[in-house]
Chain A
Amino acid sequence: MDKPVKDAGGGSKRGEGKDGKFTVNRRDFLRGVAVVGGAAFLGSPADALASRELTGWPDRVGMLTDLTECVGCRTCESACNAANGLPAPEVPFDEKSVFERKRRPTASAYTVVNRYGNAKGSGNPIYRKVQCNHCEEPSCASACPVRAYTKTPEGPVLYDKDVCFGCRYCMVACPYYAPAYDYESALEPRVVKCTMCHGRIKAGGIPACAGSCPVGAITFGNRTKLLKIARERIRKFPDRYVDQVYGEFEAGGTSWMYLSGIPFGELDFPTNLPRKPIVENTRGFLSAVPLVLTLWPALLGLCYTANRNKEEKG
């Protein structure tokens, strides 16, 4: 057999004809068929057909919370409440008694600040702001059976209550326990979480919490730039920060990242998360399910018919 001539298409990219239309030559077509056929029987994902190298949208934004700057004034909570038209809290925003227990975001508070003790340095308490981290590859979205979640090109992960039917798989899937559930109405189920003020970002503004933080502990901007800034701060002040940007790689990376002066595990950050997105655990299996369900009956049916014909003849 002759060796295949490389680039027989006159220098055009593979799979692209001279006129720019998508063409497949016989060799590639057969290879694809072989892969799909093999996958149907083996149940492994058809990786050769779809590259899984997701690098994300280059202009996506993010947030960087510097936990060494936060002084626990709860202005971000108050600003978030006002921006989203949430109900007034049971205790006012300048009440420190809320710090006595660790809180989670709820249906009426998209973000909360928790207080932690600090053995390091001055001994001042450390405050941690909690909200949805807007993952690069959100597991809430991959777990949702009805596609109520969208990862927007801008970065925020949005939820559509009109599609949701209240199964709450997203709440189970989220490694950060971010989505909360609105139990107020039995007929209109609703998951509630931070939207990173997507509307404001689209209009050229910035998220309410970042805009209101009096000490500038929350920086909003292009995610790539934020990572550079975070690394630069760690380089400049090695005594001040632990050498980690939380959210850079955790579960495939998040839009919301953190810098801290003490190990993140001491601040209730999950530290057992893989570097790969959580959806990778199920992608292989789930992508094979449609193939198995469609191709196996057809192939087995063919075999059965062929055998039956043989028996009838014989």
Chain B
Amino acid sequence: MNTKTVLTIALFWLMAITAAPYAGAGGAAAKPAGSPKGKMPGTILLGSLAKKYGPVKFDHPKHVGTAGSCNECHHQHGGAQAPSCGGCHTIDASSFKKNVQFGRIRPCGECHQATYDAGKIDRPTLAAAYHRACIKCHREVGSVGTDPKGCTEMCHESSAQAKAP
């Protein structure tokens, strides 16, 4: 490989990384200030844990408008109930590097396991994390938190199984 080829590759590479920020500039959705790059989700079906209750149709854009800030729900850095760094990042070099990605909103399931983990009993499971995040605001709405039926009135599709003992 001669010097000219190396220089050409370097030039293209430089152009590519400087152009990258402009690539996503045409995003249509109005995002709160300071939100990370990348595509914001639309309506999501939260159904990974649905057994007794139907899955939840979650309108992300609508909630962004209400919440006003990502931190209200995505509490990874800052926000009301921000866990300590060590709460999510195990402090040893290999795993720390692997799971620190600045500027990216991480899905809840990356930290909150779906099942019980004896090593992290103080960290809510995935279902508990979802419910706490939603109930934080929704407990004041409708009959959530005052009537067991509130679950199906507000978020979950009613299913015959939910009534079954």
Residues of A within 8 A of B (CB): 69, 71-74, 78, 81-82, 88-89, 92-96, 122, 124-125, 205-206, 210-211, 213-216, 219-222, 225-226, 229, 232
Contact = CB atoms under 8 A, between A and B. Distances in A.
Contact of A215 (B116, B118, B128, B140): B128
A-B pairs, top 7 by smallest CB distance, nearest first, are A216-B128, A221-B121, A216-B124, A71-B145, A94-B148, A96-B147, A88-B165
Contact of A216 (B118, B125, B152, B165): B125
Interface string B122-165: 10110111011001000110001111111110000000001101
B151 A229 contact: no
Contacts of B150: 73
A89 B140 contact: no
A137 to B, nearest CB: 25
Interface residues of B, number: 26
Contact of A78 (B129, B131, B165): B165
Given A73-B151, A81-B165, A89-B165, A214 B127 contact: yes
Nearest to B144: A71
The prevalent SS among residues of A at the interface is loop
Nearest to B147: A96
B131 A214 contact: yes
Contact of A124 (B116, B125, B145, B163): B145
Contacts of A73: 148, 150-151
5 contacts: A71-B145, A72-B146, A82-B165, A94-B148, A216-B127
Contact of B122 (A81, A88, A94, A229): A229
A82 B124 CA distance: 23
Nearest to A215: B131
Interface in B87-128: 116, 118, 121-122, 124-125, 127-128
Given A78-B165, A124-B139, A216-B128, 7 more contacts: A81-B165, A82-B165, A92-B165, A95-B148, A214-B151, A226-B121, A229-B122
Contacts of A88: 165
Contacts of A71: 135, 139, 144-145
Contacts of A229: 121-122
B148 A96 contact: yes
